Amino acid sequence: MVMDMTIGQLASETGTSPETIRYYERSGYLPTPHRRTSGYRVYQRETVNRLRFIKEAKKLGFTLNEVRELFALTDDPDTNCATVNQKARHKITEIEAKITTLQQMKKNLKVLATICPDDEQPLSECSIINHLYEHTED
């Protein structure tokens, strides 16, 4: 059964803004919708599913370019689970590297916050500001 809906209905059903939907259309992530004689876009269930796919993939950390790759895999009859699993494992490695970087950032900032005077001393005594200036390259 074909279910036609407007961009507002699609946005409401998927929790996505109309601007984002239009961007995904222009960028090729969503199929070009049919238009009514009035010029309004008309979307079908396939678009709802693709939009939900994009949102879920982004929640898992995939970039839009990686989402495009995943769509290409779903369109390739020779693709198997191992190919998708490999992409997921690569993404896990990237996420772990980001976590390590974020943990180091947190550790460094905690040190600076600990030694920074927590009172009304002049800004020249602020270890955080001083650190930032000392590590600024010209």
Beta strands in the chain (DSSP E): 34-35, 41-42
What is the distance, to the nearest Å, from the Cα of residue 91 to the centroid of all Cα atoms in its chain?
A: 13
pLDDT at 123 over 50: yes
90 in a structural domain: no
* CA atoms of 44 and 96, how far apart (whole Å): 38
88 in a structural domain: no
What is the CATH number for 55?
1.10.1660.10
Domain count, the chain: 1
Extract the tokens encoding 133. 């200036």
Range of the domain at 52: 1-62
103 in a structural domain: no
- Kindly report the pTM of this predicted structure: 0.78
11 in a structural domain: yes
4 in a structural domain: yes
58 in a structural domain: yes
3-state secondary structure of 67: helix
118 in a structural domain: no
* Per-residue pLDDT tens digits for 2-37: 568 999 999 999 999 999 999 999 999 999 998 888
| Nearest residue to 69 via CA among 49, 48, 91 | 91
121 in a structural domain: no
